[in-house]
Amino acid sequence: MTQSLPIYQLDAFAEAPFTGNPAAVVPLDSWPDDAVMQAIAAENNLAETAFFAPTPDDPDSDYRIRWFTPTVEASLCGHATLASGAVLFDRLDFPGDRIRFASQGGPLAVERAGRGAGQTRFALDFPSRPPTPAPAPEGLAAMLGGVEPVAFLKAVKNLAVMADETAVRAVQPDLKAIAALPGDGLVVTGPGDAADAASRYFAPHAGIDEDPVTGSAHCTVAPYWAERLGKTALHCRQVSRRGGDLYCTLTDGGNRVRIEGSVQFYLEGRIRV
């Protein structure tokens, strides 16, 4: 039977339209089949489509959230969670200032975070995933288009550390080789020019050649640079073509990362599935 569902498209970690990372958000009353959600995400053809439904029987959460790329279900996604929080606060009149989500990646939250640079900001409460040194995969420099990294580390995502932002921007990824890496794609990061840290993220294994701005990558980028810079609050910039700013703070003794960003509403409508 055909049903109609609301849908929103937003730019997350965006201080202006057409920047940041586009995400689709589909609020649900109950869960459809996984195949339906995967088909919706493929039809949207964005990095992630988020689905959430209420959890009235769970005292520790308000909603359960799931994320799908055009090809697979993701275990954690920052920008689509930020977008989901904006939809709940600004369009669905969620009461209070903190939304609690249950997810495959553990308990998450989105809060109102006031204003910055003239924009309303929201904040993610995500797990910290600090990286550990690991042997670099064979041919890593070639994988990055001939740009030599200064270090290689691993968490859920692989992390290649570059000398500076210029080197991060110069990376020309071999997407086939990156797709074959064990783990969840490849983050490249280096000291930023106008921010504490610059980064890019490639996830061809999940149908995303280059993700414009990646909240979940900063669960690793933020603790890595916090340790090296000796500070717990950082301004990070993802230097993809669209670009986006993330304001990250380590909390709970370094076990959590608060990731703030602005959100722009782009599209609101309904889909028939």
- State phi, psi for 158 to the nearest 5 degrees: -75, 150
Identify any residues that bridge with 49 across adjacent strands, giving them in sequence order: 24, 68
Task: With CA atoms as reference, report the closest residue to 221 among 128, 148, 147, 134.
Answer: 128
230: left (phi over 0), alpha (psi -120 to 50) or beta: left
Distance CA 203, CA 4 (A): 31
| Closest to 134 measured CA to CA, from 116, 147, 152, 146 | 152
What are the residue numbers of the active site?
Answer: 48
Judge residue 25's burial from the number of C-beta atoms within 10 Å of its C-beta, 0-12 exposed, 13-18 middle, 19 or more buried: buried
3-state secondary structure (DSSP) of residue 259? strand
| Neighbour tally for 80: CB within 10 Å | 30
Q: Is 12 in contact with 261 (CB distance < 8 Å)? A: yes
